Amino acid sequence: MENLKLELYSYAIKELDIDPKKDWEATLLLDTLLRDKHVNEAVQKARLLINSRRAIVIGAGPSVIEDLEYLKNKGIINGSTILAADGASLAYKEFSGLNPDIIVTDLDGFPELEVEMANNGSVPFVHAHGDNMDKLLKYVPMLQCAAGTTQTKETDLVKNYGGFTDGDRAAFIAYSFGAKEIYLAGMSFGDIVGKYSNQKKFEGNIERKKKKLFIGVKMLEALASVSKTPIINVSKSAVEIKGIITVKR
């Protein structure tokens, strides 16, 4: 798995012209910011929430509300652990009136809301990368408890579970912590940017967004290649991902 993570990161670096030195700088910054954030407690709580349970990973794709309705009607949501990827935390809140169990975020969606949810029971996994250091400095100090993630080398408090975008990274976390099944919702990987994504970030640069979505698909294919845990994508009009069961809707 460790070699696979490095290979995938190298691929993302080339595709998006990422500066790995900046990623490492952000990782060190996050490690410092997490010193008083009860990281071990956050990780242990997440492990207890996920281990041997069904996990639902929610992305911010355009079909997310429809997908959640489908899972509800099928009786799949009840008893499942909810991992929301960044802006999908708002989608889940609007759908259910509840906070997600776990929020996986690089803080470019609805960070104020995510901080509020985290300080009211959700477990946040905050990601460090080269262009979000300003957000790390602003929002991590507001958190009472948090875990840290990176896509480069690990530190004592910041870990590399795998993945690149918030959605596929949430799936890697679910796998790493022993989920018995992983369902994907709001993760169609199509060309449309949903309202729960940070649309402003990609205005005038939709090609970069498409590249990130393609990388997300590659990450999930890689996860499926090593996972014995079933991964089922119920996202409406989802692209086919090798090794993942796609529910046609």
Phi, psi (rounded to 5 degrees) for 83:
-110, 115
Contact 152, 9 (CB under 8 A): yes
Per the structure block, which two tokens stand in for 86?
């960044």
Which of 112, 48, 53 minimizes the C-alpha distance to 78?
53
Contact 145, 117 (CB under 8 A): no
Q: What local confidence, expressed as pLDDT, does residue 103 receive?
A: 98
Place of tokens 């989802």: 238
Q: What local confidence, expressed as pLDDT, does residue 4 receive?
A: 84
Contact 95, 65 (CB under 8 A): yes
Q: Which amino acid is at 54?
A: R
Phi, psi (rounded to 5 degrees) for 81:
-95, 130
Q: What local confidence, expressed as pLDDT, does residue 199 receive?
A: 58
What does the domain layout of the chain look like in residue ranges? Answer: 2-246
Q: What local confidence, expressed as pLDDT, does residue 194 receive?
A: 67
> For the chain (length 249 residues), average pLDDT per consecutive 10?
86 94 98 98 98 98 97 97 97 98 96 98 98 98 98 97 96 98 95 70 68 93 96 97 95
DSSP symbols for 142-155:
G-SS-EEEESS---
Q: What local confidence, expressed as pLDDT, does residue 3 receive?
A: 84
pTM assigned to the model = 0.95
* CA gap 87, 36 in Å, rounded: 26
Q: Which amino acid is at 76?
A: I
* CA gap 57, 103 in Å, rounded: 10
Q: What local confidence, expressed as pLDDT, does residue 207 receive?
A: 79
